[in-house]
Amino acid sequence: MAEERIKLLGHKAELEEEIQELETRGANHIITIRDLIDPYEEFTGLQVKRAEQAMISLKTLVLKAREKAEMLNKIKKDLGIK
């Protein structure tokens, strides 16, 4: 039983680290998107295609983070952690 708990704690730590990395990468994409869709930029000068690609990447990161958060919550529940 203790061995299983140790494995779960290790997996929990890995998931927390992976989620943090995804959040950091996502924050960078958000900054990029805001820079590309600058409200002070001339309308025809907006870099819509690059912003679209950044949004697609951001969506992928968000979906991955949600999956990992679900797994993390299940592990926390199994460990009796809130």
Which segments within the chain are labelled E, that is strand?
A: none
Closest CA to 23 of 71, 62, 79: 62
What is residue 13's predicted lDDT score, i.e. its pLDDT?
96
- pLDDT tens digits, residue range 10-69? 999 999 999 999 999 999 999 999 999 998 989 998 999 999 999 999 999 999 999 999
Separation of alpha carbons 34 and 36, rounded Å:
5
Inform me whether the pLDDT recorded for 1 exceeds 80: no
What is residue 63's predicted lDDT score, i.e. its pLDDT?
98
CA dihedral 50, 52, 53, 57 (to 10 degrees): 140
What is residue 82's predicted lDDT score, i.e. its pLDDT?
74
Integer angstrom CA distances of residue 81 from 33, 67, 69:
36, 19, 14
Please give the structure tokens belonging to residue 11: 């997996």
